[in-house]
Structure 1
Amino acid sequence: MSQEGIEDYLSVTCTQGEVDRQVGKNGVGDPSGGNIGGTLHQMNGVDVLAQFMETTCDTYLLYGEEDFNVDKLVNLTYIFQKLAAVKDQREWVIASGAHTTLVKLLAARNSNVLLGAVLALTSLAESTECREKISELSIVESLMMILHEYDLLSKRLAAELLRLLCSESDVKKQVKIYDGVPTLLSLLHSDHLKLLRSVVWILVQICEDPEISFEIRTWGGIKQLLHILKGEQYLVSDRSSIGSLSSANAAGRLRHHYLSEDLSPREIQENTLSLQAACCAALTELVLNDTTAYHVVQENGVYIIGKLILPSKQNDCIRSKASSLQCYAFRALRFIFSMERNRDVFKRFFPPDLFEMFIDIGHYIRDINCYEELVSKLNALPEDELKQIADNIEGINQNKSPTKFIGNYAILDHLGSGAFGSVYKVRKRSGQILFAMKEINLHNPAFGKDKKDRDNNAENIVSELSIIKEQLCHPNIVRYYRTFLENDNLYVVMELIEGAPLGEHFKSLKEKKQYFIEERLWNIFIQYFNNKISLDLILHPGVILESISSADLSSLIQDVQN
């Protein structure tokens, strides 16, 4: 088949209906649509089509939009989408080099040409081998541009293509290079279920990179994912498939359809369950970082995710999706539990036998099937036990109305106790900033034998803390804000310090089979060194070293200790 023959062919099949008649609506070479795909392959027609599309693409991108070129490109992208819809034919498309031209067409200014290219690439990306070939091209920059600047439909289709491609390491690296995280997180404000689900699954795949995980947390991604899990916003969706979208695009009627449809309550619920499962999967990957795990706890994440493990009455047709969400929620909670400092909160709402099963799964187990028995056990519990678990989960809700106030402060949580009293997490009645408040019982013998001694000692403490508050301000020293007396107790309001002991972090790394990177070790050493040695010594020019060996370091530490 010659290029002239292809051009004549396209001049005849310039409408979507004629293309469908020639190639079959279910894919070129599909039994219901004849065997034209195989015939094209035998006649070297796929290669000729690819060459013709490349020539037309270059002319279009160089000289601008001409109606005839646009029509040809729309039909060509449609034909290649139909070819790629059949698994065995995708290798023909890749071998012809058509995927390279399709990636170039992501820069098209005509929306139908652009969407035709995205749809064809999405069909190709369903196969692992094709994904590998596509990922070798510079595709992510174009997709990020679409996700950042284009209309909702273009964003939705580009996000689905990127979701498929993100299984490739090269694509993940490109997302990082082109600062994709802020753009992806901005899309979490959308109200379209399919767009949200694609974006969340992209985050699941890229957040295994520690730098990206940190960036997601820094840009507020944890809050956004937890907000979606609450299920409070109204979401829209559609029933479209890649094939139906491609047919509508070729027919020139895509802009009037497939943006949103009135789905049945069952369909909406099914899509919502899938989206929430994706959010749980993203949080599971993110909480591998101890700081992020603690951040999830601080953002009321245990309560929000915990509500998702509870069984609900579902239709038989979506019960499997509901059970799947329970598994994803249990896995996210189990990963959070794996960090030692988060464990106390879980003891408050699991009954002993369920808690034992929960523990026995083990730390950082990704296999979702390992959580099915736990879900089955929970769902089989009597109604009264399920209600008790639900009440226990409500009990850890950090946003519930405080039941106790001291002075002008609401008591949120008990952080610990010592020889002189207890420490609570608090916030002001009219504020959101969290503080630590130490409660000291003045009847402790250490404050004196009688009321006069206790009052004098209390006044001295208040006076000293006032001086510290006014004169001492250093990033490595806890800040004091105020002191007051109430009911024979002295209260000291101070800065709430979040974090974990270094030893606990070592234990967490061991459980995850991870290692400290050298850069972090040096950072901790420098912090320790600056605390142990006066600035006059450590910063003197005579002790600044360009490089240091382990022997030099050992000798220097011994000198300092002596």
Structure 2
Amino acid sequence: MPDQDKKLKSTEKATDKKPHGISVRDYADLKRLQSLLNDQSNQFLLPAIHFESGQINVTRALQNVKSNEQKPHGQWQESTEAVQLENFSVTYKNERNFSQHPKHKLFQEIFTALVKNRLTCREWVNQAPSIHFLRVLICLRLLIRDPSYQEMLHSLGGIENLAQYMETVANDYLDYGEERHNVDKLVNMTYIFQKLAAVKDQREWVIASGAHKTLVNLLSARNSNVLLGALLALTSLAESPECREKISKLTLVEKLLVILHEYDLLSKRLTAELLRLLCAESQVKEQIKIYEGVPVLLSLLHSDHIKLLWSVVWILVQVCEDPETSVEIRIWGGIKQLLHILQGGEKNFVSDRSSVGSLSSANAAGRIQHLHLSDDLSPDEKQENIFSLQAACCAAITELVLNETNAYQVVQANGIYTIAKLTLPSKERNTEKANLLQCYAFRALRFLFSMERNRHIFKRLFPTDLFEIFIDIGHYVRDISAYEELVSKLNLLKEDELKQIAESIESMNQNKAPTKHIGNYAILEHLGSGAFGSVYKVRKHNGQNLLAMKEVNLHNPAFGKDKKDRDSSLKNIVSELTIIKEQLYHPNVVRYYKTFLENDRLYIVMELIEGVPLGEHFYSLKEKKQQFAEERIWRIFIQLCLALRYLHKEKRIVHRDLTPNNVMLGDKDKVTIS
């Protein structure tokens, strides 16, 4: 046996007796590893990393050295330490509470030696073979799972050295590809930084070391395990506002959008959650806009994974605070997609109970590709996740309907019915999550109610006492706690009262079979009433397009006192409408398609304008204490002038009733005179 081995044996005998409950072999192995790590004569001939003037530069030293170029003693010592490190990682791979272990003193001494004599020793790092340093990192990763060892790593100055080494390996990996052991090293190091960042007070250590910059660079990694490790560590860091601010100053949004667009489901999930946290910073929201992120985000709403959907929807909640982005979400079909999620229908949602911590452990241990992330939730847990997702969708719609045209689309897409259904209590619901969903649903409805044209809908929706509480909340109140009284009052109602509210909600369903037909048209919805009659949304039998149909009561005194006068007025009206129908073709003037008589009523079928009256825009802006921008005023005014010039000069027609309520604003403030 070599002299070194005898020295180790004698050292073990001279030390303290082994602690109770530990096998002789395990104790001997730990003592041997401790002795090897504390032996400063353990040097290697071939450098793997070279430091110059405080800067780290990777040198590509050859590893295939002939055995006769190394001293036999050094060769034996290297293989012994490497084997002991590997044995340690295998033996204690499932241990997490090292500070509570019977061998806790030995573990502490080994950890200290790993940091002081290996990780922070530049001379050793300069000469260590790649595989040997990897084994050091693996042992550090296992020990760092114990929180007390995380504090020790900081006090020993190991975090800065680890960040420095991760930067070197990351640059080498990103520049030259997947060289030997680099991927495994990066996976282990990103795990260590994730564990550090999981504790609020420790995140500043990671930021101070500069590790967050390397983690952002690793978002370009081609290896999925390296990418996941970086995402998990950054997500833990982004939980703190101070860290979010530092991370958001780096160039990462474009990288995140690429991952969301092209990568696998798990990468998308983690990226969406990271982006959700970072969106608290204004520059991140601005970058999403610059890099055209809205279509990418909306494409993810087709997913069936609840956690991915939840993160994406909350990103939309934050980015739609910008008026232009809010409009863009509508143009790309975002409102209809959000309502589709709320409706549920035949969508088979999936989810799981994985956390950042559990995923990080699985990634470092090489188990993440074998995890089943969609089938481990009970029905109750899954339902709770769905409630959270629906609440997020209600929050997104709440922000979107601050734009009048968006609000109009929500109403036209059967949104009031869809959201109102979520306010109803259910015995099968988890109380806390269900009540929160009810609050979010009521808030969305209250924002819609703030638009004057929608208020008649709500009057028939709730009983008087509930409606009074609903009104008293006030316009555009975001504070979700303001809606708790309303939910409590609703949930205390008797069963027959709840049934009546449910019937009222069901009567608003635009998708139910039409109950009334006039001529060749099915009546779908009552849009409003005026001095001369009502306006309905209709669909022609066997047709697809939606139209507007105005019903005029010919017994109105305005048309004459007797039948003769009424017949004369009717003849003039039909004659005028015929001229208008045949002659008016202008983008800013409503199109008329048909007129007919039925049961002493005149019906005028016209284009259904997707928009909101200018008068409602005035009222809404007043409620929100806002004003029309001058540029917007000019855009509307010019279109009005063009429409009136066409009517007056080219067609010799006088409108005679041009009011803000007869000027409709559609997408991008397109004006249509009705």
What's the TM-score, normalizing by structure 2? 0.74
1:519 Cα deviation from its structure 2 partner:
1.6
1:8 Cα deviation from its structure 2 partner:
7.1
- What does the per-residue CA deviation read over 1:294-327, in whole Å, with 9 as the maximum and x for residues that have no partner? 2111111110000000000136xx2100000000
- The answer for the alignment partner of 2:398 in structure 1 is 284
Answer whether contact 1:16 1:250 (CA < 8 A) is retained.
no
1:37 Cα deviation from its structure 2 partner:
2.1
- The answer for the alignment partner of 2:273 in structure 1 is 160
Matched, 1:111 2:111: no
Answer whether contact 1:229 1:276 (CA < 8 A) is retained.
yes
Answer whether contact 2:588 2:639 (CA < 8 A) is retained.
no
- The answer for the alignment partner of 1:557 in structure 2 is none
1:504 Cα deviation from its structure 2 partner:
3.0
- What does the per-residue CA deviation read over 1:500-548, in whole Å, with 9 as the maximum and x for residues that have no partner? 44343222112212232232122233334545668999xxxxxxxxxxx
Aligned with 1:134 (options 234, 238, 247):
247
Answer whether contact 2:354 2:373 (CA < 8 A) is retained.
no
Distance 2:641 2:595 in 1: 33
Range that drifts further, 483-492 or 61-70: 483-492
Aligned with 2:168 (options 55, 58, 62):
55
Answer whether contact 1:328 1:368 (CA < 8 A) is retained.
yes
Matched, 1:306 2:420: yes
* CA 1:265–1:424: 2 relative to 1, 3 Å: same
- The answer for the alignment partner of 2:24 in structure 1 is none
Number of matched residues?
A: 526
Matched, 1:520 2:632: yes
- The answer for the alignment partner of 2:591 in structure 1 is 479
1:5 Cα deviation from its structure 2 partner:
4.8
- The answer for the alignment partner of 1:296 in structure 2 is 410
- The answer for the alignment partner of 2:510 in structure 1 is 398
Amino acid at match of 1:11: H
* CA 1:532–1:417: 2 relative to 1, 3 Å: closer
- The answer for the alignment partner of 1:437 in structure 2 is 549
Distance 2:233 2:333 in 1: 34
Range that drifts further, 236-245 or 476-485: 476-485
* CA 1:311–1:534: 2 relative to 1, 3 Å: closer
Distance 1:459 1:532 in 2: 25
- The answer for the alignment partner of 1:271 in structure 2 is 385
Amino acid at match of 1:477: V
Distance 1:34 1:404 in 2: 70
Amino acid at match of 2:437: L
Answer whether contact 1:16 1:247 (CA < 8 A) is retained.
no
- The answer for the alignment partner of 2:290 in structure 1 is 177
- The answer for the alignment partner of 1:208 in structure 2 is 321
Aligned with 2:178 (options 47, 61, 65):
65
Counting aligned pairs with the same residue, the percent is 71
Matched, 1:379 2:498: no
- What does the per-residue CA deviation read over 1:320-357, in whole Å, with 9 as the maximum and x for residues that have no partner? 00000000000110011011111110011110110000
Distance 2:160 2:607 in 1: 69
Distance 2:243 2:503 in 1: 50
1:481 Cα deviation from its structure 2 partner:
0.9
* CA 1:87–1:450: 2 relative to 1, 3 Å: closer
* CA 1:535–1:11: 2 relative to 1, 3 Å: farther
Amino acid at match of 1:108: A
Matched, 1:11 2:132: yes
Amino acid at match of 2:493: L
Aligned with 1:39 (options 152, 156, 163):
152
- The answer for the alignment partner of 1:125 in structure 2 is 238
Amino acid at match of 2:583: Q
Distance 1:273 1:225 in 2: 14
Amino acid at match of 1:224: Q
Matched, 1:364 2:485: no
Range that drifts further, 38-47 or 171-180: 38-47
- The answer for the alignment partner of 1:147 in structure 2 is 260
Superposed counterparts of 1:80-99, under 5 Å: 80-99=193-212
- The answer for the alignment partner of 1:23 in structure 2 is 144
Aligned with 1:350 (options 462, 465, 469):
462
- The answer for the alignment partner of 1:423 in structure 2 is 535
1:164 Cα deviation from its structure 2 partner:
0.7
Distance 2:136 2:647 in 1: 78
SS of 1:288 mapped into structure 2? coil
Distance 2:588 2:147 in 1: 75
Distance 2:404 2:613 in 1: 11
Distance 2:458 2:562 in 1: 42
- What does the per-residue CA deviation read over 1:41-77, in whole Å, with 9 as the maximum and x for residues that have no partner? 2232111111111111111111111231111111111
- What does the per-residue CA deviation read over 1:164-223, in whole Å, with 9 as the maximum and x for residues that have no partner? 111111111111111000000000000000000000010111110001000001100000
Distance 1:485 1:322 in 2: 51
* CA 1:443–1:524: 2 relative to 1, 3 Å: closer
What's the TM-score, normalizing by structure 1? 0.88
- The answer for the alignment partner of 1:547 in structure 2 is none
1:447 Cα deviation from its structure 2 partner:
7.0
Answer whether contact 1:17 1:251 (CA < 8 A) is retained.
no
Distance 2:123 2:195 in 1: 22
- The answer for the alignment partner of 1:559 in structure 2 is none
Answer whether contact 1:197 1:275 (CA < 8 A) is retained.
yes
Distance 2:352 2:123 in 1: 40
1:450 Cα deviation from its structure 2 partner:
5.3
Amino acid at match of 1:95: A
- The answer for the alignment partner of 1:226 in structure 2 is 339
Answer whether contact 2:193 2:206 (CA < 8 A) is retained.
yes
* CA 1:10–1:322: 2 relative to 1, 3 Å: farther
Answer whether contact 1:3 1:48 (CA < 8 A) is retained.
no
SS of 2:425 mapped into structure 1? coil
Amino acid at match of 2:489: K
SS of 1:411 mapped into structure 2? strand
- The answer for the alignment partner of 2:53 in structure 1 is none
* CA 1:408–1:35: 2 relative to 1, 3 Å: same
SS of 1:400 mapped into structure 2? coil
SS of 1:259 mapped into structure 2? coil
* CA 1:447–1:535: 2 relative to 1, 3 Å: closer
Answer whether contact 1:239 1:258 (CA < 8 A) is retained.
no
* CA 1:102–1:294: 2 relative to 1, 3 Å: same
Answer whether contact 1:14 1:71 (CA < 8 A) is retained.
no
Matched, 1:2 2:2: no
Range that drifts further, 430-439 or 52-61: 430-439
1:442 Cα deviation from its structure 2 partner:
5.0
- The answer for the alignment partner of 1:492 in structure 2 is 604
Answer whether contact 1:121 1:161 (CA < 8 A) is retained.
yes
1:83 Cα deviation from its structure 2 partner:
1.2
Specify every segment of 5 or more residues in structure 2 that has no aligned partner in the other structure, as ranges: 1-119, 650-674
* CA 1:88–1:472: 2 relative to 1, 3 Å: same
Amino acid at match of 1:302: I
Answer whether contact 2:446 2:476 (CA < 8 A) is retained.
yes
* CA 1:332–1:444: 2 relative to 1, 3 Å: closer
Specify every segment of 5 or more residues in structure 1 that has no aligned partner in the other structure, as ranges: 25-32, 538-562
Distance 2:648 2:449 in 1: 44
- The answer for the alignment partner of 1:238 in structure 2 is 352
* CA 1:416–1:98: 2 relative to 1, 3 Å: closer
Amino acid at match of 1:37: Q
- The answer for the alignment partner of 1:548 in structure 2 is none
Answer whether contact 1:50 1:96 (CA < 8 A) is retained.
yes
Distance 1:72 1:281 in 2: 42
Distance 1:301 1:499 in 2: 15
Distance 1:478 1:533 in 2: 15
Higher RCO, Cα 8 Å, sep 6+: 1
- What does the per-residue CA deviation read over 1:142-164, in whole Å, with 9 as the maximum and x for residues that have no partner? 00000000011110110011011
